[in-house]
Amino acid sequence: MTDQQQGAHDAHDAFLSDTTTIFGREITIQGGIYTVVFVLLAVATVLEIIIGGLPEGVLLIPLLLAFAVIKATLVVMYYMHLKTDSRLFTWVLILPLLIALAAMLYLLAAPPTGYT
């Protein structure tokens, strides 16, 4: 195996490692981090379905939005590898999201009848 192939192989093995860093601490997880993230996503999905079936209340929509943000964060950090990639890729993803959020908040603040 050439040095380039070995380097690519080692980089690939780093993503499949059972060891990960969470809140600054290195933790070893049996079965691998991808399995744990998959189980967390499955549990969050089941909870979303259960919560979605509850009668509407003040906390229903914010709770479902919180679950959606948590799930999206897990997918982006682990399955899209942004946790270990360059911070540039993180900003390339976050900056348009912030601009879209600001645009939505602006449109929500405008009265439905307009400024007449």
Q: Which residue has the higher pLDDT, 105 or 9?
A: 105
Helix axes 33-52, 60-74, angle to 10 degrees: 160
pTM for this predicted structure: 0.64
Count of domains forming the chain: 1
The confidence band for 95, taking pLDDT boundaries of 50, 70 and 90, is very high
Q: What is the pLDDT of residue 102?
A: 94
- Tokens matching residue 78: 């682990």
Q: Which residue has the higher pLDDT, 7 or 97?
A: 97
Q: How many angstroms separate the Cα of 59 from the Cα of each of 8, 35, 45, 46, 52?
A: 47, 30, 17, 18, 11
The answer to whether position 104 is within a domain reads no
The answer to whether position 36 is within a domain reads yes
The answer to whether position 100 is within a domain reads no
Which range of residues forms the domain containing residue 42? 3-85
Dump pLDDT digits (tens) for 4-58: 666 555 555 555 667 767 777 777 777 778 888 899 999 999 999 999 888 888 8
Of 48, 13, 34, the C-alpha closest to 77 is 34
Can you point out the beta strands (E) in 1-116? 19-22, 25-28
Predicted confidence (pLDDT) at residue 60 exceeds the cutoff of 80: yes
The answer to whether position 53 is within a domain reads yes
The answer to whether position 109 is within a domain reads no
The answer to whether position 43 is within a domain reads yes
The answer to whether position 25 is within a domain reads yes
Dump pLDDT digits (tens) for 70-90: 999 999 988 888 888 888 988
Q: What is the pLDDT of residue 7?
A: 56
The answer to whether position 114 is within a domain reads no
